[in-house]
Amino acid sequence: MVEVRRSYTTAEERVIMDAVHDALVVAFRIPASDRTVRYLEHTPERFSCSPDLREPERYTLVTVDCFAGRSLDAKRLLYAEIVDRLAPVGIPADHVTIVLRESEPENWGVRGGRAATDVDLGFALDV
């Protein structure tokens, strides 16, 4: 999920959502077709952030729910890719917070209500 504190154009929203998805494809090596990205715009009074930011209206919170198992290097790559890919819409690198929420595959119901451990995901988790 991508949460922002200001309005962007529809084209910019697409760039932001693509930035997160494309970073996951690169860093976690998920298939390009495996796409679920939510975008949520808050009014500034309903989404506080540090008053020390240069442009607080551009503060962006990215939360990634994912299977556990990725290496620290893959996570570092993900963080860098997201920040780099958000720059074209004017989001400063130090205005981005990324939170990974990892859970074991048996805690995900996918493809018709089956445990993710019981299906071929089509990608490796140990990247």
Tens of pLDDT, residue by residue over 94-118, are: 999 999 999 999 999 999 999 999 9
Q: What is the pLDDT of residues 34-69, one digit of tens each?
A: 999 999 999 999 999 999 999 999 999 999 999 999
Judge residue 62's burial from the number of C-beta atoms within 10 Å of its C-beta, 0-12 exposed, 13-18 middle, 19 or more buried.
buried
> What is the SS3 assignment for 63?
strand
The CATH number of whichever domain residue 107 belongs to comes to 3.30.429.10
The set of residues, in sequence order, having a beta carbon less than 8 Å from that of 61 and lying 6+ positions away, is 2, 3, 47, 96, 97, 99
In the block, residue with structure tokens 């008053």: 51
Q: Is residue 127 part of a domain?
A: no
Assigned domain for 69 exists: yes
pLDDT at 35: 95
Residue 125 counted as domain residue: no
For residue 98, the cross-strand partners are 62
Count structural domains, the chain: 1
Per-residue confidence at 84, pLDDT binned at 50, 70, 90?
Answer: very high
In a domain, 123, yes or no: no
Question: What global pTM score does this model have?
Answer: 0.94
User: Does 12 reside within a domain?
Assistant: yes
Q: What is residue 97's predicted lDDT score, i.e. its pLDDT?
A: 98
Q: What is the domain extent for residue 85?
A: 2-118
Whether residue 29 is contained in a domain is answered as yes
Indicate the average pLDDT of the chain. Answer: 97
pLDDT band at 8 (very low <50, low <70, confident <90, very high): very high
Return the pLDDT at 98.
98
